[in-house]
Amino acid sequence: LDLADNKLRGKTIDLRSSSAHNLVHIDVSNNEFGGCVDMTFTSGMLYANASYNKLTCASFKRFNPAYETLRVVDLSNNQIDQDVSEVFHNIPPSLEQLILSNNNIRGSFPSPLPTFEDMRHFNMTNNNINGPLPDFSRATPRIRELDISNQRQTESGGLTGKISPDFSRLDDLLVLNLAMNNLTSIPSDLGSLQKLKYLDLSSN
């Protein structure tokens, strides 16, 4: 189902009707939807794109079959104003791509970060997250692109502390962007990442 690039609006996006339960791909990007959204739209959902709307909060229903099937979630360029721990509550462990960039997500990452064994692309750039940088080597062992840059949207924002030497265990990592945070040290072990093509640690 592709409803992208229209002027659709409303406070909810609900497609859990009998006629839509077989949908696996839903794109409602670049519309004017607001309010909250449950990203497990239908029972067999694989791909859900609600980027470029006016959504203010997002959730994932644990007891929905899509919790086991969802692979891609894109909620970038909205107005999501939630604590990051709320966003990650019940987030599907099956995700391969999670894009939450350009929102107003705040607070500290949950500790420990939920495990995403198959995560390849993780992007939360341009939010207001603070606190320590999580152990992505444990949570996302197969990550290829990791971007958590520019968390200093307000004075209280910005990831803090050290970059763990365990980042050197991310053997598939191609892109690492942690620029514009408040990180205090860079482990020399990052030099052992043979596949790394892009590294930005500027303005820390």
Q: What is the pLDDT of residues 132-157, one digit of tens each?
A: 999 999 999 999 999 999 998 777 77
What's the pTM value of the predicted model, to 2 decimals? Answer: 0.92
Dihedrals phi, psi of 142, to nearest 5 degrees: -110, 20
Q: What is the pLDDT of residues 164-177, one digit of tens each?
A: 999 999 999 999 99
Q: How far apart are CA 183 and CA 166, in angstroms?
A: 15
Q: Across the chain, what does the average pLDDT equal?
A: 90
Whether the predicted pLDDT of 179 surpasses 90: yes
Q: Which two tokens stand for residue 155?
A: 């004075």
> Under a CB-based contact definition with an 8 Å cutoff, are residues 37 and 16 in contact?
no
Give the confidence band of 18 by pLDDT, cuts at 50, 70, 90: very low
Dihedrals phi, psi of 188, to nearest 5 degrees: -65, -20
Residue 124, pLDDT score? 98
**Residue 169, SS3 per DSSP:** helix
